[in-house]
Amino acid sequence: MEKYSNKRGNSPITYFQIENNRIIVQFKEGKSYTYSHLKAGRHHVEQMKTLARTGSGLCAYITQNVRFKYD
């Protein structure tokens, strides 16, 4: 997994792993959630990949768009 850079300094996300059709996001408490094209939708997963790489806005995006759409 790759460390989430957390540019704003207030994200509970610590790590992420980008795969072809999904992203795995790990939070501070140690839980990991997988968001796939099938469950969360291709558009959302691809946007989450972009946010993960930039290190900002991923948690807010998850909360607003795909909160319970994990596998």
Cα–Cα distance for residue pair 60/71, rounded to 1 Å: 19
pLDDT digits (tens, 9 = 90+) for 16-69: 999 999 999 999 999 999 999 999 999 999 999 999 999 999 999 999 999 999
Cα–chain-centroid distance for residue 6? 12
Reported as a pLDDT band with limits 50, 70 and 90, residue 7 is very high
Residues paired with residue 13 on neighbouring β-strands, in sequence order: 27
Torsion region of 61: left, alpha or beta (phi above 0 gives left; psi -120 to 50 gives alpha): alpha
Q: Of 29, 19, 23, which Cα lies nearest the Cα of 61?
A: 23
Please report the pLDDT score of residue 36 as a whole number.
Answer: 99
Domain borders along the chain are 2-66
